[in-house]
Every structure is written in structure tokens, then in C-alpha cells.
Amino acid sequence: MDAPSAERPRAVTVIGWIWLVVAALRFADGFLGCIVWKVGGLDRGVPLLSLRASELQLRALGLDFFMRHATELLVAQILLAAAVAYAAFELLRLKPWARRAIEAFAWLGILVTLAIAVYTFAWTVAVARATPAEDEQIRIAGLFAAIVIALIGSALFGGTIYFLRRPAVRRAFETPAA
């Protein structure tokens, strides 16, 4: 028998559908991003700004790496979203590997969330140095934003991990003895 005979816990249904819908949205976002990036010509420069001004602004924001590698990053987003969607679909079918995969994606989500929080704070500190008159306010706002990002992302991904590790959920994924 391929799937366990146990009934699917509500937590698995909720987590599976949330992850499936969000993965589909991220897939669409990456796909549309590629189209806009390539067809819209953003890979050749940001419209309405001179190339030099655009490069300086991107460098000041620390986004020049992302602009240089946007196509590769968008393709990676598409592939990761497809993998997450497949794992979420199989989670709904109670495949044991899918529970481990979604948990691994949730751990990755926590790491990415923390990296974004650190980047946000580091960026605001850099901006604060450039504007000494508002230095303290910018640092406080950046710290607050970084904390909110870290807490919300960690709570969402941590909640997934917590519910997937619950005994009733783990039992639903156990394969029956042959």
C-alpha cells in the first residue's frame, strides 16, 4: 500500500493547502517576474532613470547583486515553488516523505526569514550613516522592522514545524505493518 490508511488530521489539511496555494502564487510570481524582466526590458535598465543614476541607486540599496542575477534567482524561485507545491500535494496524500520535505522547507524558510531580517537591519544602518540628522530614528525603525520580519516569518514557519511534529500527525504518516 502506497499511502497510510489513517485519516488525514485537520492540521495536515490546513498546512497542505496553505503551502500548496502559497507555492502556486510564488510560482506565478516567479514566472511573471521572468516575463516582465525579459520582455519588459528591465534586464537592460530601469525605465525613466538614466543608467548611471539607476546603478547608483541600486548600489546604495545593496540590490545590485539581485539585479545582476535576477533571471537566475527568478528561475530558482520557480523551481523551488514547484518542488514545494509537489511536496504539499503529496502531504495532502499523506506521503511520509512529504511531511519531512515540508518540514525541511519550513526550516529553510526560517533561515531565509532571519537572513532577510539581518539584511533589513544592515541596510537601514547603512542608510542611517548617510543621513546623520535622522540617524537614530532610522536605526530604530530598521531594528523594529527586522524584529517584526523575524518574528512573523519564524512564527509561520515554526508553526508548520510544530504541527507536523505533533504525535497525531506523525501517526497519520506511519506506514502500516506489512
CA 103/CA 49 separation, integer angstroms: 43
Read off the pLDDT of residues 74-118 as tens digits, 9 standing for 90 and up: 999 999 999 999 999 999 999 999 999 999 999 999 999 999 999
In a domain, 164, yes or no: yes
- Phi, psi angle pair for 98, to nearest 5°: -70, -35
pTM: 0.79
Query: Residue 99 in contact with residue 91, Cβ under 8 Å?
Result: yes
Read off the pLDDT of residues 13-71 as tens digits, 9 standing for 90 and up: 999 999 999 999 999 999 998 888 877 766 665 555 554 455 555 555 666 677 778 88
In a domain, 4, yes or no: no
In a domain, 143, yes or no: yes
User: Total structural domains in the chain?
Assistant: 1
Position 109, amino acid: G
Domain that holds residue 42: 10-172
